[in-house]
Amino acid sequence: MIEIKVALVGQPNVGKSYLINSISGATLHVGNFSGVTVEKKEVEFQRNDYKLKFIDLPGTYSLHPYTPEEKVTKDFLLNEDYDLILNVVDSNQLQKNLVFSFQIADLNKPMVIAFNMYDEFSRNGGEIDTDKFYKLTNILAQNVSAKEKFGLEELFKKVIQTYEEKNTPRIYYSETVEEEITNVKRKIKKCKFDKRFVAIRLLEDDEDIYKLIHKKPWYIDLISQLRASKERIKIEFDEEDIKEIFFEERLALSKGIISQIAKRARKEKLSEKIDKILIHPILGLPIFLFVMWILFQSTFSLGAIPMDYISSVFNSFGDLIGKIFPNGIVKDSIVNGIIPAVGAVVMFLPNILILYLGINLMEQTGYMARAAYVMDGILKRFGLQGRAFIPLVSGFGCSVPAYMAARTLKNPKDRLITMLVIGFMSCGARLPIYVLLVSAFFPKHIQGNVMFAIYIGGALIGLIVAKILREVLFKGEPEPFVMELPKYRFPKLKAILFDLWIKTKMYLKKAGTFIAFASLAVWFLSSFPRAGIIKEYSLKIENAKGIEKIKLEKRIKKEILENSYLAKIGKLIEPITKPLDLGWREDVSLLAGLAAKETVVSTMAVLYGEGGKHTSKNLIEKIRKNMLFTTAVAMIIIVMFYSPCVAAMSTFYAEVPQWKWRLFYTIYPNVFAYIAAFLGVSLIKFFQ
């Protein structure tokens, strides 16, 4: 009995494993590929006088591997013994799948293609002419459905026929590319691979093939021709990335062949019509920016409506506590410390929920994946890949899940660069700080635009930093971006409400526990020592009446604050931040923000309290009176760029075990924030 060893190859989610499971009477062996933990499936079964042995290789998008699974597939195809390749293709994704098929075809190995999921394709009125495909490519193909189990026996017959006839693919590129392939091929002497394949892979900068031939005696003669051929191709196509040139060549070939072999009788779907607009090469980016602008405008304008209602609730609660508790430290700490601080944080909850709602809607409707597709070309210019968009946008909500979302980036360099710039995407916890300062120092009609500029500006600077990191510390090309665009779906109201409820519960829990305790600590540090000052003013206050007494009470509070433990800590830092126009109050507020960004607002509420009702307007007015415009700008810039909260930093440390990157991540955002704030303040002063 003759054994035919078949390498089963295809992109992820094309149904290779389903195909194996559909083969009746087969013996399945499961293990691991040598030296790695990647699962290896082998299936054996008999047909006539042949024993067919299928090795299911991990799904891969390209023979330029970026993941361990893709490397396993490439290593097997290059170095293992097999008789032919069975390439499984999704009939509904012909164009994308055939690009990879033609890359495999360059191996010049006997090959068969299975157009899988043909049942779905034909239900929509589609047809694939496999006979014509064979005439165009010299590759036998069969329409099959692993799910419905049709076409499988015909497929196995074509596998046996290809084995017997030793048919190899016949794929040709454009005239210029073919000419340079031939020129390089002439310089290649004895080699274990097909010379045409080696020439193509050398032109595509395949490191594995370079390693194979660089010790050959004819390598020196080859390399000069290779450089000249690459240069000519780059000039001809006006493109520096030669891998991109070959991708476009295969894409053009794929489109041309599909136009001749495939028919789609169905009308264009509504989703495809929408995609033509949303992922349009010119309109796609402006539409995305407009969506984000609407989101931030809504975050600011709609979120401002309930702020005073929330403030009034906390004021009423403060008045109630003030009547219940007797005068003393406990009453003072609750009424002037915890309640105004927690209230100042909670009143920004609507703003945060609107931001989360917008991000949630983008994800549920399927627009987030389209935005990633649109952003891929832009991100690539900054040394990132399209898939990085998901963790980066997640960073607008919270940095913790954003760092975890970066796991989807398989390439270690891409993942680390993305994680190092996630902090430049302003998380929801920074939103209250922006709202407070923007409300205090910018006219109402441009506040939403300023907020949009803060978020987009931070993201843009993050991309510039990513480009610098790529050029200086992480040289190399980003991983190619491949993503299945999900179907458009109406968002589920129940899921949205549940998600917002969870976010609200977590935020209120944080405000009622961590921030309450932090506010109590801030109040204590800002209210003590006080004995000497109270003793000095006690007699004056007793003898004073009316307005004079109120003035003395305000003066005593101010002196206690100016001589408090917190003031002493702030004044130690003040010489460093003086060039940024920051005072000790701003310094300790920013310092508290390292624990949780919301505590910046709660700390400012305590330090700028000085009695009176703690409404949002009241707090904004006090900050406007006591803070310079340049100080507010410096604070906004620092909050945009300095280290995230402790929880986010801990997540980064858990995801990145190398101490050098942990140290770099701890230091560089703060240095960057200081320099950026200094430049911002200097620029304002220059134009004033």
Residues 386-419: pLDDT tens digits? 778 778 887 887 787 788 777 767 677 888 888 9
Tens digit of pLDDT for each residue in 64-89?
876 667 788 888 998 888 999 999 99
Higher pLDDT among residues 609 and 160, named by residue: 160
User: Which residue is listed with tokens 């002493």?
Assistant: 568
Where is pLDDT greater, at 648 or 34?
648
Query: Which of 90-94, 492-496, 553-557, 615-619 has the highest average model confidence (pLDDT)?
Result: 90-94
Mean pLDDT of 108-136: 89
Is 498 in a helix, a strand, or coil? Answer: helix
Distance CA(265)–CA(347), nearest Å, equals 56
The mean per-residue pLDDT over the stretch 487-515 comes to: 76
DSSP state of 145: B
Domains of the chain in start order, with CATH, are 2-165 (3.40.50.300), 175-264 (1.10.287)
- Give 39's pLDDT tier (boundaries 50, 70, 90): low
What does pTM read for this prediction?
Answer: 0.61
pLDDT digits (tens, 9 = 90+) for 626-647: 889 999 999 999 999 999 888 7
> What is the arithmetic mean of pLDDT over 335-357?
76
User: In the predicted model, is pLDDT for residue 50 greater than 90?
Assistant: no
Task: Tell me what pLDDT residue 131 has.
Answer: 92
For the cut 90, the answer to whether the pLDDT of residue 681 exceeds it is: yes
* pLDDT of 46: 83
Share of the chain above pLDDT 70, in %: 87
Amino acid at 503: K
| pLDDT at residue number 568 | 84
Measured between alpha carbons, how far is 257 from 200 in angstroms, rounded to an integer? Answer: 21
pLDDT of residue 83: 92
Rounded to whole angstroms, the Cα distance separating 94 from 617 reads 60
Residue 549's pLDDT band (cuts 50, 70, 90): low
How far is residue 114's CA from residue 133's CA, in Å, rounded to a whole number?
12
Contacts 24+ apart (CB under 8 A), 566-573: 566/522, 566/525, 566/526, 566/607, 567/526, 569/525
Mean pLDDT lowest among 129-143, 196-210, 275-289, 484-498: 484-498
What pLDDT was estimated at residue 545? 67
Q: What is the pLDDT of residue 663?
A: 93
pLDDT in tens, 567-581: 888 888 889 999 999
pLDDT at 37: 43
Task: Report, as an integer, the average pLDDT of 271-295.
Answer: 84
Helix (H, G, I), strand (E, B) or coil at 63: coil
Report which of 410, 411, 393 is spatially closest to residue 402, judged by C-alpha positions: 393
pLDDT tens for 431-453 read 889 988 998 899 888 888 898 89
Above 70 in pLDDT, residue 670? yes
Structure confidence at residue 36 as a pLDDT band (50, 70, 90): very low
Q: Give me the percent of the chain exceeding a pLDDT of 90.
A: 19
pLDDT score of 612: 45
